[in-house]
Structure 1
Amino acid sequence: MAIRLVAMDLDDTLLRDNWTISPRVVKAIQKAQAQGVKMTIATGRMPISTRPYAEQLGLDVPVITYHGAMIQQVLSGEILFRRVIPSSLAAEIVQDVADRGLYAQVYLKDRVITPQVNEWSREYARIASVHIEEADLSILLSQELEGVEKILLMAEETELDQLAPLLGQRYGEKVHITKSKPCFLEMTDCTVNKGVALAALAKQFGIAQEEVMAIGDSFNDLEMIKYAGVGVAMGNARQEIKEQADIVTTTNEEDGVAEAIERYVLDRIL
């Protein structure tokens, strides 16, 4: 069966290590779109950090951000779906991790906020090309009636790997906990992930599960890779991700997204 919808992770998947998209990848995506295949991005990034890439590719469908906590139209900025961590719960988690001496950022639509900018936040701002605000999170969360899309903890991987089970025991029924990079531990509302969002998008377009391809490299991509009819792991993905995928393509530095689209999408369009 032909692929009609392709979802691509951004970092270490669609993007090369210098955070650009290769000409070959751009060409493959635009050729697939010209032949009627719907292409989208599914990322843990915030919308403002995702939009320039979506615009570069000329994507004409909603994009999935915050690991599925928000689905938004690229050009208009219209929010089609939004699910937040309630403010009271977010405040509890932020205080908990602060007591453990860990750094946290919270995300509120297109804002990213932290108590104090440090080397972790400066590196994040460089990667994502965003401005990071400083604010007292306890005050901010007491004023924000709805909640936040995401909480991000940044620390050394060994420290996060020790912390994740502890947070899972305490908050696992309330938030979804995942890793997007070795030093990034991320939390969203428990009902959302990239797989849930991709399934909703496919349903909106009347596209069957087996007609969906998902391409990613990290733990936050697992749900969509397992949901898709064709789940693709990048050549640079962790072994745990490759083992769950139907196909392993080449690395992000070797145009792995283009390789997958050319072989399993364009070659199969009649």
Structure 2
Amino acid sequence: MVYLEKKQIGFILSDIDGTILDHKHQIDLDLIEEIKRLKQQAIPFVLASARSPKGMLPIAEELEIEDWPLACYNGALIGRYDHTGTLVPIFSHEVKKAEAKTLVARIKADFPAVSINVYSGDQWYCERVDQWAQAEAEITKETPLETSLEQLLAQEAFEVHKFLLIGTTAEIQALHAACQNADFLESAFYLSKENYLEVTHQAVGKDKALNELAAYFQVPLAQTLAIGDNFNDLPMIASAGIGVAMENAPDLVKAKADFVTASNTDHGVADALRRFVAE
């Protein structure tokens, strides 16, 4: 960690869970005030999360930044909602169709109890709303569409931005190991929970999203600020002009950051904005 002064920041990328949301999943009122200051200076504050667009939009609306892009599925899809409520993609990185088909077939053959959830754009698809999909729906307040995954994947225009595979911890750990040893050359597999395995294109990452959005906003990378609290935030924290870790982040994440701000329950993001974004 180094001593840093305020500088000309042109764009900010921030994680959601554990960062701008406290332990009660509430947004800090101080942050809402800081966002107003950013908007006056036309400095975009963009949310980046593994969440879907529909899962991120209510938070963006509460912050009154719904006109700015959303970096969804950890950057697999970056887009913004237009005045009609339609999600307009800006950058899109899809799981390769052949690998998606192979993955679904292998799970059905070897791990039939695993819940397969497919995210495309701002839609969530599954073949049936099982106990796992129902639990996820209760958490995210989203409703999956029930349909044949084989028929979806057979459609030439259909794009897969993310798989969410849910089961028992033993099932998901075994599936993760099997996928790592299989021939999925262009897909990335990572555990977001002990029993949640997520799959995206291997090029996806919040650091890639940071670079793409910096170019989109025509802001030099040196004038970007990234804030996060977990290991999947490390690449963007390391890539940004100023990388900020939350006090509630793991020690390794904090060690790699330029600055450690207060926790997500103690105005951490608002404090970082006051510290690093000049008037």
Give deviations 1:106-163, integer Å, cap 9, x for gaps. Answer: 1011211223323332232122221022333223322354431101123466765565
The total of aligned residue pairs comes to 267
Moved more, 202-211 or 71-80: 71-80
Shift of 1:95: 2.8
Tell me which of 41, 53, 58 is aligned to 1:52: 58
Tell me which of 43, 55, 70 is aligned to 2:77: 70
Give deviations 1:22-71, integer Å, cap 9, x for gaps. Answer: 21121122222223322111111111221122122222422211211111
Tell me which of 4, 25, 39 is aligned to 1:19: 25
8 Å CA contact 1:176–1:189 kept in 2: the answer is yes
Look up the SS of the partner of 2:19 in the other structure: helix
Give deviations 1:196-252, integer Å, cap 9, x for gaps. Answer: 121011012221112111112233322212211212222222334333322222222
8 Å CA contact 1:180–1:218 kept in 2: the answer is no
The residue aligned with 1:91 is 101
Q: Structure 1 57/137 Cα, relative in aligned 2: closer, same or farther at 3 Å?
A: same
Shift of 1:171: 4.9
Q: Aligned pair 1:231/2:243, yes or no?
A: yes
Distance 2:147 2:63 in 1: 35
TM-score by length of 2: 0.84
Distance 1:115 1:246 in 2: 45
The residue aligned with 1:139 is 151
Moved more, 223-232 or 155-164: 155-164
Moved more, 102-111 or 239-248: 239-248
Give deviations 1:82-125, integer Å, cap 9, x for gaps. Answer: 22113331121123234234332110112112233233322321
Name the structure with the higher helix share.
1
Equivalent residue runs for 1:108-257 within 5 Å:
108-143=120-155, 145-155=157-167, 160=172, 163-171=175-183, 173-257=185-269
Tell me which of 99, 114, 125 is aligned to 1:102: 114
Moved more, 46-55 or 86-95: 86-95
8 Å CA contact 2:96–2:186 kept in 1: the answer is no
Distance 2:157 2:218 in 1: 35
One-letter code aligned to 1:94? V
Look up the SS of the partner of 2:45 in the other structure: strand
Task: Report runs of 4+ in structure 1 exceeding 6 Å deviation.
Answer: none
Distance 1:162 1:93 in 2: 14
One-letter code aligned to 2:81? V
Q: Structure 1 117/242 Cα, relative in aligned 2: closer, same or farther at 3 Å?
A: farther
Q: Larger radius of gyration, structure 1 or 2?
A: 2
Tell me which of 37, 40, 43 is aligned to 2:46: 40
Which structure 1 residue ranges, 5 or more long, are not aligned? none
Which structure 2 residue ranges, 5 or more long, are not aligned? 1-6
Distance 1:72 1:96 in 2: 31
8 Å CA contact 2:52–2:122 kept in 1: the answer is yes
Distance 1:255 1:56 in 2: 17
Q: Structure 1 35/86 Cα, relative in aligned 2: closer, same or farther at 3 Å?
A: same
8 Å CA contact 2:99–2:187 kept in 1: the answer is no
Q: Structure 1 196/181 Cα, relative in aligned 2: closer, same or farther at 3 Å?
A: same
Q: Aligned pair 1:82/2:92, yes or no?
A: yes
Identical-pair percentage: 32
Distance 1:180 1:254 in 2: 25
Shift of 1:165: 4.8
Moved more, 93-102 or 55-64: 93-102
